[in-house]
Amino acid sequence: MPTLSLPVSNLLRNKESFKRLIAHFKYSHTRSGIWTVNASTPWISSSRGPKSALVSRRQVPVGQLTAGNMSTSSREDKTSWLWSVYNETKQQTQDLIPVISNNFVNPDTIFANNQMSLQDIEIYGFDYDYTLAFYSSHLHTLIFNIARDILIDEHRYPEGLKEYDYMPNFVIRGLHYDVQKALLMKIDAFHYIQLGTVYRGLNPVPEKEVIAMYEGSHVPLEIMSDFYGKSSQGHTMKQFMDIFSLPEMTLLSCVNDYFMKHNIDYEPVHLYKDVKEAIGDVHVRGIMYRAVEADIEKYICYGEQTHAVLRKLSKNGKKMFLITNSPFDFVPFRRVTDKGVLLWDRIHHLEKGQIYKQGNLYEFLRLTGWRGSKVLYFGDHIYSDLADLTLKHGWRTGAIIPELRKEIKIMNTEEYVHTMTWLQALTALLEQMQVHQDPASQTVIQQWINEREEMRLRTKDIFNAQFGSLFRTYHNPTYFSRRLSRFADIYMASLSCLLNYDLQHTFYPRRTPLQHESPIWPEQTSTGAMNIPFQSHRTTTGSE
């Protein structure tokens, strides 16, 4: 059984490491502007000498550290003083790296946005694609190739498009596409474009050009997709939230790239609609499903752990159902025979073990009476799978985010830990030292700003060279993360994560300090991501 990561157990073994981390944490988050440098601090043992002393919150405002506080106000001494602070901070940060590096987050953790107890859940519901069933990377290549050929054969697009193959690492989920400008980009939770992630075709758009087009980097609310991610008239920004949308974004980029390379004049809106229709045809016409059925082993990842989850729920007397998206218009449920034939009789209730087709969510709720927080539904699409269920019907929701596993593994690497720790410390240093406006100080500070920008780019590229992390821009949460936190009570990499928790478990979200709150505890990882074997925090029940 894997273990989960928690800083507490390791830190408590080493009192000095714990004290240093607390002091560093307070330093990184304070906004009081009152600090001294190289001061003796009660957090640090004097036996370690002055090199161990963290910059600590004391009595003297940074703005007052001028001639009166330094031995000389000369240009050279001012520059030397700033660099000494820089070097001291960097050394202290490096000393913390081993402590932080020992506290990795386990990718099999379930993370909570909202407090929820499995003890209250009586009914478990599931989406199918990328929730119960996972597909191999071959499926996206298949979708891309079929849709590309539909464009050529049925929409009379150039034969030269066959030169393009699917690129599995080009895009990420959650991106926005400006239909009128033919631009693919990542937007943060505050509607700001992450500069450096705007692409026209397969090439990045210079930051100055982006700022000129949007008169800054903010995207107005009126052109964004609506609350549920749907585009309507006047909403020119389409957000791609579905895992199946990765081939669609890649195909859009490739066709744009071909037209630009060959100086072909085209209407971006028509291109978007044609690609959307071609991708839709792959699903609606059943082309993809027939291909998958013909070679299941190639396209379907066998879900042995998924079976184990379902068996566990069944053993514990939980009700379960599988439901997919229904048409918007109201259509009553119809019973289906084992041969797929639709029956004509009226449905008054749903029977265990039977399969039903058509219908919609409201009809499902009427027939089952399954409302409120006793139902937990899992899906991968934050809008179509989860939004209505939690907002209108009070169901508890669990988001399946397969990308989470890869991103956590990256965050656990020594390179990422080292870069992010120093990036946070340098940012705090810049925030405090910006009060020094003399030319000598500004020259030094500008070098720090340049270093910080290089690290920000590096932390983006480590996830995806074009668009970075699914969950963050350089610092802010992404628009995707904002919706994830709003519509999902819990989220995880796969349904199999449930195997690590008993069915009495309560998930508690972290109390992340607000900007005006002083941190009380260095909550670097979720409580659920503790460095304790899962067995140690299980409760023993007769059903386990």
Of 108, 120, 127, 489, catalytic? 127
Query: Residue 17 is inside which H or E element, if any?
Result: helix 15-29
129 is catalytic: yes
Nearest to 350 by CA among 330, 338, 332: 332
Sort 330 into a burial class: Cβ within 10 Å, 0-12 / 13-18 / 19+. Answer: exposed
Of 129, 178, 274, 502, catalytic? 129
Sort 92 into a burial class: Cβ within 10 Å, 0-12 / 13-18 / 19+. Answer: buried
Integer Cα distance of 402 and 298 in angstroms: 19
DSSP state at residue 204: E
Helix 15-29 / helix 75-101 crossing angle, nearest 10 deg: 130
Are 494 and 303 spatial neighbours (Cβ–Cβ below 8 Å)?
Answer: no
461 is catalytic: no
Residue 501 CA: distances (Å) to CA of 176, 294, 312, 506? 36, 37, 11, 9
The backbone torsions φ and ψ at residue 513, rounded to the nearest 5 degrees and listed phi first, read -60, 135
Are 184 and 175 spatial neighbours (Cβ–Cβ below 8 Å)?
Answer: yes
Residue 441 CA, distance from chain mean position: 38
Q: Is 188 annotated as a binding residue?
A: no
Q: Is 329 annotated as a binding residue?
A: no
Query: Residue 491 is inside which H or E element, if any?
Result: strand 490-492
Q: Is 265 annotated as a binding residue?
A: no
Amino acid at 150: I
Binding annotation: 127, 129, 380
For the annotated binding site for GMP, the residues are 129
Active-site residues: which are they? 127, 129
For the annotated binding site for Mg(2+), the residues are 127, 380
